[in-house]
Each structure stands twice: as structure tokens, then as C-alpha cells.
Amino acid sequence: MRTAYSVETVRAAERELMDRVPPGALMQRAAAGLAAACAGMLGRTYGSRVVLLVGSGDNGGDALYAGARLARRGAGVSAVLLSPERVHEGGLSALRAAGGRVLTAPGAVVEGAAVPVEPVIARADLVVDGIVGIGGSGGLRPAAVELLELVRSPVVSVDLPSGVDADTGEVSGVAVRADATVTFGAYKPGLLIDPAREHAGALRLIDIGLGPYLGDRPAVEALQHRDVGELLPRPGPESDKYRRGVVGIVAGSARYPGAAVLAVSGAQRGGAGAVRYVGPAADAVVTRHPETLVSQGPPSKAGRVQAWAVGSGLGEDKDRLEDVLPADVPLLIDADGLRLADEAALRARSAPTVLTPHAGEAAALLGRERADVEAHRLASARELSDRTGATVLLKGSTTLVVGPGGVRVNPTGSGWLATAGTGDVLSGLIGSLLAGGLDALDAASAGAYVHGLAGRLSPRPAGASDVAEALTAAWRDLLRGGGPGTD
């Protein structure tokens, strides 16, 4: 599992470790990892041109020490200082001793001679962003923005891209868009959460020894392949269809029968022993999935289920939603169900609830503009979870799952999943995982991961039916690598 820790936690861990190691040891460890990553991106270090954009914090010191290492390997390294009066003196001395060149922005002076910054940056083979550290807030200042506009080469950010918020992933102004980010000691939440995640590029974590001091309460988790494989339910020798769980699907309408078919398609491949469909699209569902148990009366009279998934293509049929809201089993609400659900009724539920909005639906529930939700994804998901008591899966290229059990981000998302009906497949899939016994956080997290993996395995471009079909291959891939008990 990939874990990310808050700035406060990382700084506390650094202070504790620094009391146990020689002065400057952590920065040297970070610089060594950063220099190695830069050398890897350059391919050939000797004769290459590297520019360091250096701010006043420790990130600037890391960049300077890494630049010194690259200079000793034959690279031509130039450091552009944005705050010469507050530069890291040890790093600056190391760079100069290694033969590096020091410039200042916006004008430049090298040992009394004027040197223009613009061509130095424009001709660089690699630019290292050491402008702002993890304690920065807000967008970049105009002087930094002017320098970034000159960049024509790949960019490596030190710890995180300058201008993004390390704890929230928010980007409130101009920020660096890196090709790679080399982070130290622990991932920071902003590296995993949009919109900052889009600025980070490829991530590389350098171990500087913080692990024992970070504690066991990460701010954000991201499940990996093996984690999900171990979560997926597996039938035992004594299993029957009821012991494996029955998921009830309340979806579709005369206008949107396809939503019901797609939700059932996801549910059939979610590990539950049986799928029970209730609604007006029964004929369409049985035609596509003859193994489905169908009925058209009130959902509460349809027979026992271990979880409900409701809302996809429901239209204005609020009665079916209100019939399942009091049920003492896990409940997933998607699409039209989100619009029809009453917040007080959600808070009153005793069993776990999962809400799966996209940004527009979350904005409507919160009474905000969609752009505001997209700019503040973590805060928006947390507020919606707090207001409803539910676990909230906020869809997006990096889907967020936020609930009483913690915060997770899904790494398998893809823009190819942004097509009609894929959300219906996801709702059925998560509903099936809930019926199979996973708790709300695990079901939503694992469902998003499997769904994203199926999107990657689908043909290009993929429709929702293609994604549903690919769920089987995704499961097979995950079970193969899921540890003990794998089938």
C-alpha cells in the first residue's frame, strides 16, 4: 500500500530523526537520491546542462547539493537563485566547490560579470524545481512564473511541484508542471490527489529513514495490486450463493433501461453469489443476464439481500429509493439516487452507506459550483461525508474515497472511463463487494481499483459494456497476484 503523510507528521518525523543522526545527514540522503533520479532522466550526465531553480527553503538546499553531485560527474550545472539573501549556504558552497555556476533572478551576476538567465534556462537539458518546499501555500510569485515560461526541457520537482498544496492537492495559482517528482521520506497527500497530482508527473520516493517515526496513521492511502487482490472475496468449500452474498439492484426506468443492464453487469462480476434486480427493466436485464433474480414490486418485498445498489437511471422514481433507505444492510447510492436522496434520511441510517458522485453531483449536494469541487476535491469529499455520515467516492481521474474509515485515492483511473454508463457498472460492482462482506471503505476502494483496471484492459475506445466485460480479466489478474489463498 502506498501511504501519504501530512506536512505536520513529516516534519515531526524529521525532527525526531535529526536528533539521532549527524547534522545535515537527511539533506545529504535526499540530495543523493535526487541526483541519481536526475542522472537517470538525463541518460548521460557528462556534458549535459542542468539548471537549478532555487528558492529559500530546504528544497533549494536539496537541489544545490544534488547539483553539486551532478557537477562532479561532469554536468554543467547552473543555479538560478530566486532569493539570494536566503539561500542555503551549505548547498551553495558545495555547488561552487564542484564547479557549478550561480546566477540570480531576474538579473544575473557571476563573479561580477553580467550573464543573461534566459538562454541558460532555455538551453538546459534538465531543470530542477527547488523553488518552494512542502510548507508553501498559494501559487508561485511572478518572478518564478517568468522563469518557468523560459523552460523548454523536462522538469524534476524536489519533494513536490512548487505551487501546489502538499496536504490537500489544491492548486490556487500558477504551479510547476513536472515530468517527475522526487519526494523524500514519505509521499505527501498532494502528490496523490487532483488537481496537484496532474502536476507531479512520475513519482519516485527516496527513503531517508523516516519510516519508524511516521506512525501508523497516514493521511491518505492508495491501494496497490496486491492489496486489492487480498481484499477481493473468495468462495470457500462451504459457500453457496446466499453465503457469498446477494446484492439487490434498484436501477433503470422505462427511459433508461440500459442503466439497469449495466449496473447488473457490474454486480454479476463483483463476487456476490446472486444478483437480485427490482424495477421496470426486468425484461432487458433477463435478456442480457438470465441468471438474475428479477421482480417488479417494492424492493423491500423482493427477498433477502446483503446490500443494495440504487440510483442508476432511476429517473424520478423516488419511491423505490425511499423503500430501501431504511434497510439495515449496506447501501450504495449513485446517479439519480443522489439527487433524490434526503440528507436527513442518509444521516439516520444505521447501516453503512456509500455515495458515488462525480464532481457535478457533489457540487449539487453541497450547494456549490462544480469548479469549486474540482479545485477542492479532498475538502469537498470530506464535507459531504461529514454531512451525510456516508463513505463518499468522488469520481475523477484519481478517484477519492473518503469516509469514517479514512481517505484513499485510486491509482488506476483513466480518462477512457469518462464515457456514458461506466458509473452504472461501478455502482453494481461496489454493491456486489458490499454484499460479499467488505466494509464501505474497502468495497469502494477495491471497486474503484478493479473498475479502473478493467478500463485499462478494455479496447480503445471502450464503451461501458466493454468495461463490464473486462472486469473478469481484471479479477483474474488481481487474484493471481493476491497472496495466500489465490485461485
SS3 of 79-116: EEECCHHHCCHHHHHHHHHCCCEEEECCCCEECCEECC
Q: Is the separation of the CB atoms in 429 and 233 below 8 Å?
A: no
483 is in an annotated binding site: no
104 is in an annotated binding site: no
The grid coordinates listed for 381 are 469529499
Q: Is the predicted pLDDT of residue 71 greater than 70, yes or no?
A: yes
178 is in an annotated binding site: no
What local confidence, expressed as pLDDT, does residue 114 receive? 57
183 is in an annotated binding site: no
389 and 453 share a domain?
yes
Q: Is the predicted pLDDT of residue 58 greater than 80, yes or no?
A: yes
184 and 235 share a domain?
no
396 is in an annotated binding site: yes
| CA dist., res. 373 & res. 352, Å (int) | 24
- SS3 state of residue 358: coil
102 and 232 share a domain?
no
Q: Using one digit for the tens of pLDDT, what is the confidence trace for 173-226?
A: 999 999 999 999 999 999 999 999 999 999 999 999 999 999 999 999 999 999
Could you tell me which residues come within 8 angstroms of residue 281 by beta carbon, excluding any fewer than 6 positions away? 251, 252, 253, 254, 256, 257, 259, 260, 261, 313
271 is in an annotated binding site: no
The grid coordinates listed for 43 are 541518460
| CA dist., res. 487 & res. 236, Å (int) | 11
259 is in an annotated binding site: yes
Whether the pTM exceeds 0.85: the reply is yes
249 is in an annotated binding site: no
98 and 171 share a domain?
yes
Q: Using one digit for the tens of pLDDT, what is the confidence trace for 76-133?
A: 999 999 999 899 999 999 999 999 999 988 643 444 445 789 999 999 999 999 999 8
Q: Is the predicted pLDDT of residue 485 greater than 50, yes or no?
A: no
Query: 30: buried, middle or exposed (CB in 10 Å: 19+, 13-18, 0-12)?
Result: buried
60 is in an annotated binding site: yes
134 is in an annotated binding site: yes
58 is in an annotated binding site: yes
- SS3 state of residue 297: coil
Rounded mean pLDDT of the chain?
94
442 is in an annotated binding site: no
Listed residues 191, 222, 253: the one ending a domain: 222
358 and 259 share a domain?
yes
What local confidence, expressed as pLDDT, does residue 239 receive? 80
Q: Is the separation of the CB atoms in 57 and 135 below 8 Å?
A: yes
138 is in an annotated binding site: yes
229 and 213 share a domain?
no
Confirm whether 399 is domain-assigned.
yes
User: Which of the two residues, 297 and 219, has the higher pLDDT score?
Assistant: 219
Listed residues 207, 222, 237: the one ending a domain: 222
295 phi/psi in degrees, rounded to 5:
-160, 165
